Amino acid sequence: MKPQSKVKLTGSTRPVPANATLSDVNKDEIIEVTVRLRRQKVLPQEAISGGKHLTREAYADEFAASSAEAQKVEAFAHDHHLSTVEVNLGRRSVIVKGRAEDIEEAFGVTLKCDSTNGSSFRIVMGDIHVPEELKDVVTGVFGLDDRPIATPKFKVKRLNGSVVSHAAAPAAFTPDQLAKIYGFPTGVTGSGQCIAIIELGGGYRTGDLKTYFSELKIKKPTVKSISVDGGINTPSKADGADGEVMLDIEVAGAVAPGATIAVYFTPNTDKGFLDAITKAIHDTQNKPSVISISWGSAEVNWTQQAMTNYNESFKTAAALGITVCVAAGDAGSADSVTDGKAHVDFPASSPYVLACGGTKLTTNNNGQITAETVWHESSDSATGGGVSDFFPLPDYQANANVPLSLNNQFKGRGVPDVAGDADPDTGYKVRVDGQEMVVGGTSAVAPLMAGFIALVNQQRQKSAGFINPAIYADPSSCRDITSGDNKTVAGNVGFTAGPGWDACTGLGVLSKLPEVKANVPA
**Same domain flag for 384 and 444:** yes
Domain that holds residue 332: 151-477+487-495+502-510
| Residue-level pLDDT at 379 | 84
Q: Left if phi > 0, otherwise alpha if psi is -120 to 50, otherwise beta: which for 481? A: beta
- Going by C-beta distance under 8 Å and a sequence separation of 6 or more, which residues neighbour residue 366? none
| Residue-level pLDDT at 518 | 52
Q: What is the distance between the alpha carbons of residues 314 and 347, in angstroms, rounded to a whole number?
A: 9
Asked if the model's pLDDT at residue 484 lies above 50, the reply is yes
Q: What is the distance between the alpha carbons of residues 64 and 41, in angstroms, rounded to a whole number?
A: 8
Residue 73, φ and ψ in degrees, nearest 5: -65, -45
**Same domain flag for 155 and 135:** no
Longest dimension (CA), the chain: 76
Partners of 355 in the β-ladder: 326
| Residue-level pLDDT at 47 | 96
Q: Does 1 fall in a domain?
A: no
Residues assigned a catalytic role: 244, 248, 443
**Same domain flag for 341 and 241:** yes
Q: Does 274 fall in a domain?
A: yes
Q: Which of 178, 196, 359, 170 is nearest to 279 (CA)?
A: 196
**Does pTM top 0.85 for this prediction?**
yes
**Same domain flag for 158 and 293:** yes
Asked if the model's pLDDT at residue 393 lies above 50, the reply is yes
**Same domain flag for 63 and 192:** no
**What is the tens place of the pLDDT at every residue in 287-318?**
999 999 999 999 999 999 999 999 999 999 99
Asked if the model's pLDDT at residue 519 lies above 60, the reply is no
**What is the tens place of the pLDDT at every residue in 57-96?**
999 999 999 999 999 999 999 999 999 999 999 999 999 9
Which residue, of 124, 142, 160, is where some domain finishes?
Answer: 142
**Same domain flag for 129 and 155:** no
**Same domain flag for 340 and 320:** yes
**For residue 517, what pLDDT band results from cuts at 50, 70 and 90?**
low
CA dihedral of 37, 41, 45, 49, whole degrees rounded to 10 = -40
Query: In total, how many domains does the chain have?
Result: 2
| Residue-level pLDDT at 521 | 39
**Same domain flag for 59 and 198:** no
Asked if the model's pLDDT at residue 520 lies above 50, the reply is no
Q: What is the CATH number of the domain that holds 172?
A: 3.40.50.200
Q: Does 515 fall in a domain?
A: no
Q: Does 387 fall in a domain?
A: yes
Asked if the model's pLDDT at residue 323 lies above 70, the reply is yes
**For residue 3, what pLDDT band results from cuts at 50, 70 and 90?**
low
**Same domain flag for 334 and 353:** yes
Q: Does 198 fall in a domain?
A: yes
**Same domain flag for 222 and 323:** yes
455's enclosing H/E stretch is helix 442-460
